[in-house]
Chains A and B, each alone.
Chain A
Amino acid sequence: MTEQDQFDSNIDQGADTTVALGKGLDVGTANLAAAVQNDEGGITVNVERNAFLDIPSDAYSKNMLTKLKVPYVVHNGKLVVIGEAAFELANVFGRETRRPMADGLVSPNEQDALPMMKMIIQKILGEPQVPGENCYFCVPAPSLDVDNNVVYHQGLFESLIGKLGYTARAINEAHAVVFSELADNDFTGIGLSFGGGMANACITYKSIPCLSFSVARGGDWIDKNVANVLGCPRSKATAIKERGIDIRDPKSREEEAVAIYYRSLINYVLSNIKSRFESGQNMPSFKEPIDIACAGGTSMIGGFIEVFREEFAKIDFPIPVGRIFRSEEALTAVAKGCLVAAAIGES
């Protein structure tokens, strides 16, 4: 049996106890997610919030955190609570979480957060099944609206993942959405990833990216503005946003603020995409209407895709578009797309 055959049988039979090689990692501003194929023919995605909170270190707090199964690290004499627990504690104490990343890239203001981020990635990714196993991780595309450079960001994570024993390869975030969501379209269409720090777009033709770019606004931009108008910490604004509201039908002043900024974000992203398409540089043309797949944690709010369609209808989009839909696994779609790239790389 060749290596190719073995790979195929792992996928097709599903129940085989050997798990297919390759891992996908979504290095997101708000969440870190690692996807791997499981032995039941599906995928398992480990997700952790990309945030931490430092609190004074003492034996009592340490014991309590251990009993409550709250992940922590002792760093520079401080107790650093990591991930979702940090977010919850920040809300309890009315504080802001610290964030290793901002606007889709490693934050220059939180350099000492990198060791914490490494621990989270190590935890969700686990050990490689074989030395040098493929791990595809996502990187944002250059932004249309701010001057940023992904070279340093990409280099950092290539090094980190390499040190964990993997062969690290970068893939554009929205391209990963295409791999995850547009298989039925032969991977032709537009993938949009609405993340915490950015919104990424990628147009592909038969899996080949023709055009990719980003805008530096995402869920964090909504949180910042909602926090400003409501006079509360950003963590609180995030919690309001994530408590299951529908932006078509806001029930309170707080939800109204969230809905207003969501609509503004969607309009901003669509306007930028439209103007990029209209600029005529490297523009692909399609014979048939193409589908738009939306994904990313910021797209998970109730009413997102309906508002997206409403805003889309208002603009004269330069490309004929067929279906506009949101991924059923919006939070994990990027990690899944990275996994597809990694698995095909392994084969």
Chain B
Amino acid sequence: MESVNEIKEALSARSRTATLDELRSEGRKRVRLIRAEHVAQMISEAVHAAIEHSGLLDQEEVDRLVEKSRQEFKSILREREQELARSRETEEALEAREGELTELKSRFGELTRALASTRAELQQVQSELEVARELPAPVAPPPAPAAAPSSDMLMALVQEMANLKANLMQAQAPQAAPAPGADFSAAIEKLAGSLNDRLETLGKKMGVSAAVGGDAPTDFGSLFDAGESKLESNMDNIQVKQKAGGGIAANLARLKKLKGGG
């Protein structure tokens, strides 16, 4: 009975399915049918007859060969099934990758919109700065916030820009691993670079470029100024707490010795 099923599977694998309409369209009005059991029986009989007539093998050897053939058949069938499963897994992985790509595209769109918005803000601040610079200089020292952005405003702006940059870099991080996102990562990196350049340009104009990652020395000293010419204070008349400590001659001598100068 098992051989009949195997024959059925083999026939199924090597035959095609056609509807009656399709057969009719091919010009066939009648078809001959044969049961799988009969095919199996015919094959079995043919094989046994051929072997018997050959006189080369006894019945026991024939049965052994039949069993071996059956095992071979099962093994091939299993392999085909495994190939089919692998193919399905690959298909599912492909679908997952496509989903990720769609998500990345969506995030890319969001980041692009955020970037555009930031650029617009930066341009607005630049314009305001230009306008402020073009105003005639007052004779007397002006109150701090009137003519130029205050320290607080600069700090807030720099902080905001740094945050935006950090967010952008953070968003970029998980996209680097999968192969399909490689191009996208490069695009994000390019955008981040472009944003950096713009921030740097604006920062330099405002004198705070190093705060967003520049290497050039920047003068932050004005942030310590109160905006008033001189603060009223009694600090000059106050003595600060003093502590005496051991000398550093020995430390210096050791250091000089290490440096080869002692």
A183 pairs with B254, CB closer than 8 A: yes
Are B256 and A329 in touch, CB under 8 angstroms? no
Tell me whether A41 and B249 are in contact in the complex, defined as CB-CB below 8 angstroms, given that A115-B226, A151-B213 are known contacts: yes
Asked whether B231 lies within 8 Å of A74 as measured between CB atoms, the reply is yes
Known: A112-B152, A123-B235, A186-B254. A340 touches B248 (CB 8 A): yes
Confirm or deny: B73 has a beta carbon within 8 angstroms of a beta carbon on chain A: no
Residues of B within 8 A of A82 (CB): 235
Contact with B along A334-347 (1 / 0, CB 8 A): 00100110011001
Query: What string of 1s and 0s marks CB contacts (under 8 Å) between B202-231 and chain A?
Result: 000000001101000111110111101001
Does chain A have a CB within 8 A of B243? yes
Tell me whether B238 and A71 are in contact (CB under 8 A): yes
The 8 A CB mask of A17-39 against B (1 = contact, 0 = none) is: 00000000000000000010110
A43 with B245: in contact, given A108-B159, A155-B210 (CB under 8 Å)?
yes
A41 surroundings in chain B (CB, below 8 A) = 247, 249
A71 and B233 in contact, given A111-B223, A347-B252 (Cβ under 8 angstroms):
yes
State the CA gap A118–B223 with chains docked (Å). 10
Does B151 sit at the interface, judged by CB under 8 A?
A: yes
Bound Cα distance from A115 to B223, whole angstroms: 8
B208 to chain A, nearest CB (A): 9
What residues on B are CB-neighbors of A61 within 8 Å? none
Contact partners of B233 in chain A: CB under 8 A: 71-74, 119
Task: State which size class the interface on A falls in.
Answer: 35 or more
Instruction: Name which residue of chain B comes closest to A122, CB basis.
Output: B235
User: Chain A residues with Cβ under 8 A from B250's Cβ?
Assistant: 183
A158 is contacted by which of B211, B217, B234, B244 (Cβ under 8 Å)?
B217
Q: How far is the CA of A187 from the CA of B253 in the complex (A)?
A: 12
Contacting residues, chain A, for B248 (C-beta < 8 A): 11, 37, 43, 336, 339-340, 343
Query: Closest residue of chain B to A4, judged by CB?
Result: B261
Interface assignment of B258: CB less than 8 Å from any CB of chain A? yes
Whether A160 is near chain B, meaning CB under 8 Å from some CB there, is yes
- How far is A60 from B234 in the complex, measured between Cα atoms in Å? 15
A186 to B11, CA, bound (A): 88
Cβ-defined partner of B234 (8 Å) among A72, A115, A160: A72
Kindly identify which residue among A70, A111, A115, A180 contacts B155, using a CB–CB cutoff of 8 Å: A111
Q: Please give, as numbers and ranges, the residues of chain A lying within 8 Å of B221 by CB-CB distance.
A: 159-160, 162-163
Q: Which residues of B contact A163 (CB under 8 A)?
A: 221, 224
Q: Please, how many residues of chain B have a CB less than 8 angstroms from a CB on the other chain? A: 43
Q: Do A46 and B241 form a contact, CB below 8 Å, given A111-B223, A155-B220?
A: yes
Known A-B contacts A75-B226, A155-B210, A156-B223; A35 and B245 likewise in contact (beta carbons under 8 Å) = yes
Contact of B246 with A71 in the complex, beta carbons under 8 Å: no
Which residue on A lies nearest to B224, using beta carbons? A118
A69 in the interface (beta carbon within 8 A): yes
Decide: A73 and B232 in contact? CB cutoff 8 A: yes
Contact flags A156-186 to B (C-beta < 8 A → 1, else 0):
1011101100000000000000011001001
**B210–A151 contact, CB under 8 A?**
yes
CA distance A47 to B245 in the complex (A): 12
In the assembled complex, A226 has its CB within 8 A of some CB on chain B? no
Q: Does B255 contact A (CB under 8 A)?
A: yes
Take A111-B223, A114-B223, A162-B221 as given contacts and tell me if A84 and B245 are in contact as well, using a CB distance cutoff of 8 Å: no
Q: Is B15 an interface residue (CB 8 A)?
A: no
Q: Please state if B245 and A329 are interface contacts (CB–CB under 8 Å).
A: yes
Question: With the chains together, A48 CA to B242 CA distance in Å?
Answer: 9
| A206-B258 CB under 8 A given contacts A45-B245, A151-B210, A155-B210 | yes
Taking the closest CB of chain A, its distance from the CB of B169, in whole angstroms, is 11
A245 at interface, CB cutoff 8 A: no
| Contact yes or no, B243 A187, CB < 8 A | no
| Interface presence of B12 (CB below 8 A) | no
Which B residues lie within 8 Å of A83 (CB)?
240
- Chain B residues with Cβ below 8 Å from A198 are none
Which residues on the B side are within 8 Å of A51 (C-beta)? none
Separation in Å of the B99 CB from the closest CB of chain A? 31
Docked complex Cα distance between A242 and B191 (Å): 52
Contact A159/B220 with A71-B233, A187-B258, A206-B258 known, Cβ cut-off 8 Å: yes
Q: Interface digits, A90-132 against B, CB 8 Å rule (1 contact, 0 not)?
A: 0000000000000000001001101101110011100000000
The answer to whether B252 touches A343 (Cβ under 8 A) is yes
Given A11-B248, A118-B224, 11 other A-B residues pairs in contact with their CB atoms under 8 A = A12-B249, A37-B247, A43-B247, A43-B248, A46-B240, A66-B237, A115-B225, A155-B218, A159-B224, A328-B246, A329-B246
6 A-B pairs with the lowest CB-CB distances in the bound complex, closest first: A115-B226, A159-B221, A118-B224, A159-B220, A74-B232, A163-B221
Q: 14 interchain pairs (CB within 8 A)?
A: A14-B249, A41-B249, A42-B245, A45-B242, A69-B239, A73-B231, A74-B231, A111-B151, A119-B235, A156-B223, A179-B251, A186-B254, A186-B258, A339-B248
